[in-house]
Amino acid sequence: MTTTTDTVTAAYGTWPSPIGADLAALHDGRPEFLGTVGEEVWWTAPRPAEAGRRTLVRRRPDGREESALPAPWNVRSRVVEYGGHPWAGMVRPDGTALVVFVHFPDQRLYAYEPDRPDAPPRPLTPLSTVGEGLRWADPQLRAEHGEVWCVLEEFTGEAPTDVRRVVAAVPLDGSAADDRAAVRELTDDRHRFTTGLRLSPDGRHAARIVWDHPRMPWDGTEVLLGDVTDDGRIVDVRTVAGGSDESVCQVDWAPDGSLLYVSDAAGWWQPYRRRPAANAEGTALCPGRNEEFGGPLWKVGQRWLCPLDDGLIAVVHGRGTTALGVLDPERGELVDAVGPWTEWTSDLVPLGERVVGVAAGPSGGYEVVELDTRTGHTRVVGAAHRDPVDPAYYPRPSVRTFTGPDGREIHAQVYPPHHPGRTGPDDELPPLVIWAHGGPTGRFPLALDLEVAYFTSRGIGVAEVNYGGSTGYGREYRNRLRGQWGVVDVADCAAVARALAEEGAADPDRIAVRGGSAGGWTAAASLTRPDVYPYACGTIIYPVLDLMGWATGETHDFESRYLHSLIGPLDEVPDRYRERTPLHHVERMVAPFLLLQGLDDAICPPVQSERLRALATERGIPHAYLTFEGEGHGFRKAETMVRALEAELALYAGAFGIERTDVPALELES
Contact present, 366 and 360 (Cβ < 8 Å): yes
Question: Does residue 265 form part of some domain?
Answer: no
Of the pLDDT bands very low, low, confident and very high (cuts 50, 70, 90), residue 118 is confident
Question: Does residue 209 form part of some domain?
Answer: no
Let me know whether 13 and 145 are in one domain: no
The angle at the Cα of 523, spanning 216 to 28, to the nearest 5 degrees, equals 75
Contact present, 421 and 7 (Cβ < 8 Å): yes
Question: Of all residues in the chain, what percent are helix, strand and coil, respectively (each to 5)?
Answer: 15, 35, 50
Q: At what angle do helices 488-503 and 518-527 cross, to 10 degrees?
A: 70
Let me know whether 17 and 68 are in one domain: no
Contact present, 198 and 251 (Cβ < 8 Å): yes
Let me know whether 13 and 137 are in one domain: no
Let me know whether 15 and 131 are in one domain: no
Question: Does residue 91 form part of some domain?
Answer: yes
Of the pLDDT bands very low, low, confident and very high (cuts 50, 70, 90), residue 638 is very high
Let me know whether 435 and 465 are in one domain: yes
Type of residue numbered 52: G
Which is nearest to 125 in space by CA: 145, 108, 111? 108
Question: Does residue 134 form part of some domain?
Answer: yes
Provide CB contacts within 8 A for 218, sequence distance 6+. Answer: 247, 249, 296, 297, 441, 471, 478
Full DSSP string of 153-166: EEE-SSSTT-EEEE
Task: Decide if pLDDT at 149 tops 90.
Answer: yes
Write the CA distances from 604 to 294, 381, 609, integer angstroms: 26, 37, 9
241-273 pLDDT tens trace = 999 999 999 999 999 999 999 999 999 999 999
Question: Does residue 118 form part of some domain?
Answer: yes
Mean pLDDT of 336-349: 97
Question: Does residue 364 form part of some domain?
Answer: no
Pairing outcome for strands 511-516 and 461-466: unpaired
Number of domains the chain contains: 2
Question: Does residue 243 form part of some domain?
Answer: no
Cα 89 from chain centre:
23
Supply φ then ψ for residue 461, to 5 degrees: -75, 160
47-75 pLDDT tens trace = 999 999 999 999 998 999 999 999 999 99
Full DSSP string of 593-618: EEEEEETT-SSS-HHHHHHHHHHHHH
Instruction: Please tell me the least confidently modeled range out of 95-104, 269-278, 549-558.
Output: 269-278
Of the pLDDT bands very low, low, confident and very high (cuts 50, 70, 90), residue 117 is confident
> What's 478's domain CATH number?
3.40.50.1820
* Distance from C-alpha of 472 to C-alpha of 322, rounded to nearest angstrom: 9
- pLDDT value, residue 2: 44
* Distance from C-alpha of 44 to C-alpha of 35, rounded to nearest angstrom: 9
Of the pLDDT bands very low, low, confident and very high (cuts 50, 70, 90), residue 5 is low
What pTM value is reported for the model? Answer: 0.96
Let me know whether 416 and 516 are in one domain: yes
Full DSSP string of 170-196: EETTSTTTT-GGGSEE-S-SSSSEE--
Which is nearest to 654 in space by CA: 640, 635, 670? 670
Let me know whether 493 and 593 are in one domain: yes
Let me know whether 42 and 16 are in one domain: no
Torsion of Cα atoms, 102 then 104 then 648 then 534, to 10°: -70
Task: Decide if pLDDT at 278 tops 70.
Answer: no
Write the CA distances from 518 to 58, 166, 633, integer angstroms: 34, 28, 11
514-569 pLDDT tens trace = 999 999 999 999 999 999 999 999 999 999 999 999 999 999 999 999 999 999 99
Let me know whether 13 and 139 are in one domain: no
Helices (H), 12-157: 21-26
The residue from 189, 209, 226 where one domain ends is: 189
Let me know whether 52 and 167 are in one domain: yes
Let me know whether 160 and 181 are in one domain: yes
Question: How confident is the prediction for the chain on average, in pLDDT?
Answer: 96
The residue from 129, 156, 189 where one domain ends is: 189
The residue from 134, 156, 189 where one domain ends is: 189
Mean pLDDT of 385-407: 96
Let me know whether 161 and 16 are in one domain: no
* Residue 183: other Cβ atoms inside 10 A: 23
The residue segments making up the domain with residue 87 are 32-189
* Exposure letters 126-155 (e unless 16+ CB within 10 A, then b): bebeebbbbbbbbbbbbeeeebbbbbbbbb
Contact present, 104 and 116 (Cβ < 8 Å): no
- pLDDT higher for 277 or 449? 449
Question: Does residue 346 form part of some domain?
Answer: no
Of the pLDDT bands very low, low, confident and very high (cuts 50, 70, 90), residue 277 is confident
By three-state DSSP, how is residue 20 classified?
coil
Question: Beta strands of 266-423 (E only): which ranges?
Answer: 270-274, 283-284, 305-307, 313-317, 323-328, 333-336, 343-344, 349-351, 354-361, 364-372, 378-382, 398-403, 409-415, 422-423
Task: Decide if pLDDT at 279 tops 90.
Answer: no
> Which DSSP letter does residue 583 get?
G
* Distance from C-alpha of 486 to C-alpha of 60, rounded to nearest angstrom: 49
Task: Decide if pLDDT at 4 tops 60.
Answer: no
**Bridge partner list, 154:** 134, 164
